[in-house]
Structure formats: C-alpha cells, structure tokens
Structure 1
Amino acid sequence: MTSGDPALARAVAPLAPPGVLVAVQRVAGTQSESLMASEAVMLADAAPRVRQRSAAARHAARRLLRRLGVPPCEILKDPAGRPVWPTGIVGSLAHDDDYAIAVVAPSSAGLGGLGVDIEPAEPLPAEIVHLVLTSAEHRHCGGDLLLARLLFVIKEAVYKAVNPADNVFLDFHDVVVDLATGQARTRTGRTVAFAATIQPRLVAIARWTPIAGR
C-alpha cells in the first residue's frame, strides 16, 4: 500500500473503512514521466514540482485500481479540477510537498463519495485560524495550532468527499467538525464520517453514504 515511509503507511492504514483502499507514494521517488499521455498534456503548463506531485498521486491511485482489477487508465480532471475516475469507482487524491496519497473504492462499497487530504504535522499559522475554524472549534482546540491544522485537513477531505455530488463550493466554516463523534456536517446538509491521524503527518479520510449522508 505504500512506496515511502513505513511509519506513515502504518498510520494511514487504519483510517480506511471496509471496502476502501489507500496508498501512499513518496513524491521524490516518482518521475513525472510516469504520467500517462493525456495527463502529461493536462499538466504541460504546470511547474515541474507540481507535475511530480500529481504523478505521485496518480501512480498511487493506479496501484490501487490494479488491485480492483481496473487496467491502467488516465486520471484526468473535470472542468472543476476534480479527478475523473473510471466507471464504478469513487476516489480521491491529495499531496503535500513530500508525499501523495490516494483512496479508492468500488461502487459496490456503497459510498456516495470519498475524500482525502495530507499535510505536514506542523501548526496552522495563527493568523488564519479564524478563517478555518468556527468559534466552537476554536474553543475546542484551546490554542493547539497542530490540532487546528488537523481540522483544516479534515475539512479539506470532507469537501473533496461531497463536492463531486453536490457541486457546491463550501467555505471552511461551512464544514463543522466534531472530533468526538468522527463526523462532520456540511452547510448542504450532509453528514460525513471521517478518520484522521496527527503523526507522522496529518491525514484525514472522509466518506459518506447515500443513506447516512443526509
């Protein structure tokens, strides 16, 4: 499930619910040439580092798709910048400077959407806390800026999980996170389950089902 840090692999494995596959790929170990033809065209104007990160995320995703019996395929973007998955697959991609992560599941898993995000285990800059956290979330964090950044990651994962279905932009305050229950509620009325880890990197995987997601 990983090509990179074994500690990170061990940390993210329990975050994936039944039926969901997760893989981590080290960015530095990925060549931009691993992009497929249409992906390379799509990213032709991107900076080399961006192409490498995108290649790492897609390499991780293709490893997972192979496990589901899906032959190698291009993972392009729709006009909104979201990954386009093969028919019968839901998934999500993310990367930071050093690692990429992919999650996928077959439609038989019964999920309406999946989202993932990854960030370094570093504090959220204090000057943007008010932009990311609601007042209640801010109080819950109690000045813990690493925990605040974890909420940032969770909200990003939740947004990725619901946006393909809802096609509605959500600000950070439109996603309210309850760490105690492992659920988030969106302004559009969806309830999204999540699992997250804070070490060795901040990672969150979010998912919703058509029945429980409203």
Structure 2
Amino acid sequence: MESNSILIVEDEEKLARVITLELEHEGYSTTAVHTGKEGLNLAESRNFDLILLDIMLPEMSGLEILRRFRRKDAVTPVILLTARNEVPDKVSGLDLGANDYVTKPFEIEELLARIRVLLRYRREESAPADEVLHAGDLSVNLLTREIARDGVTIEMTPREFDLLVFLMQNKNQVLTRDQLLENVWGFDYMGDTNVVDVYIRYIRKKVDLPFSSPLIQTVRGVGYRMKGS
C-alpha cells in the first residue's frame, strides 16, 4: 500500500527535521521546505495527502499560503503549526480553511494523532459522482462540495462542510455533542468540547439565518437535529 505523502512547511529547520524523522518512522512520505514561497509552489504543483503549515514563515505567511491554496484545493487537509496563542490567528486559520491547528511546543504524539484523524476522514469521504444529500430545500453535492439552499450558493470551510454533511446524513435524528465530536473531529480530538456549539453556530448563520425556516434544531440537554424530508 502506498504511503501517505505529507508536505511540511516550517522555517525552524531543526523542528522540521524532527517532524520529518517522526513521520517517516510512522511510514509517511515527507517533503520539507522552509520558506513560504517554496511551500506554496509545492502545494500547488504536487499532490499531497496532508500539509503541515507553519503560520510564521519568511517570504510569505502561512495564512497567505492557505488563502491562496484553498482557491484551488478545498479538500487536502491542512494542519497549522503556530507558536502563537492568540485566538485571532487560530480563528483566521480555520476561517481560511485549515482543518486543525497545533500550538508549539507540542508533543509529537498529539500531532500524529491529529494527522491520523484527518487522513482517515479523507479516505472515508469518497462518494459517487451523483451523490447529493437533501434536507428540505438544502442540497449538498459530496463530490463537488457545492452547497445550495433555495437556489442560493453557500460557502463553507472544510470543517463546517464535514459537520453539515454528518447532520444531513443523519437528518431527523438527535445527535449528541459526543457523537458529533467522534464522527466529525475524530476519536483522537484533543481540543475544547464546546467546539461543536461554536461550529453549529457558524453553519446556522449560513444555512438558517438568511432563510425563513430553520433546519438545524437544538434539543436541550442532548444535542442537535437536522430537519428535512
């Protein structure tokens, strides 16, 4: 079986070397570069299964790389590596389409766990070309990742998309926060548990608030349910 390929964009060469050795020990194929421009060029010119992207880079920031890369590729998982603890950087990265982030210094086992989760979901995401989910007047094409409600196109980040898809795949069922964490973020998720409520709020702003009839229901003390026929 061919190994997963991972691009490492990290200007701290010693850290990049440590990550490279650990990933290769786990059986991954790696490519490491140390500047923003090199990272963007490789990300756009070659196919990788996952990208580890530092935010603070010479020549071009990681957030700028992410912004440009997501114009062409909305699927490849991206994990941000950052020494910053400020919330705005993390929020900006997620808004631009990052799938996850790890704050330095981090334990390599934490990074490996997050990589495993994202690669597993990428393998499970494949769907037939004509598979389209519906909930009322909301539709999601699993192949093209196009979302529309009542003829209006809706844009979402990769994580928002994954959460919406899981809700629609289980429409009219009450899903607990634990179920959503396990199936959208993965068994190995190590972040805040209130992330479910945060992302439900994000997608509600896009699929419910602009329209007259809300589709996502809160079931108090339990979780959430997607209405729809």
Higher relative contact order (CA 8 A, sep 6+): 1
Confirm or deny a common fold (TM above 0.5). Answer: no
If the length of structure 1 is used for normalisation, what is the TM-score?
0.29
If the length of structure 2 is used for normalisation, what is the TM-score?
0.28
The structure richer in strand per residue is 1
Looking at CA atoms only, which structure, 1 or 2, has the larger radius of gyration? 2
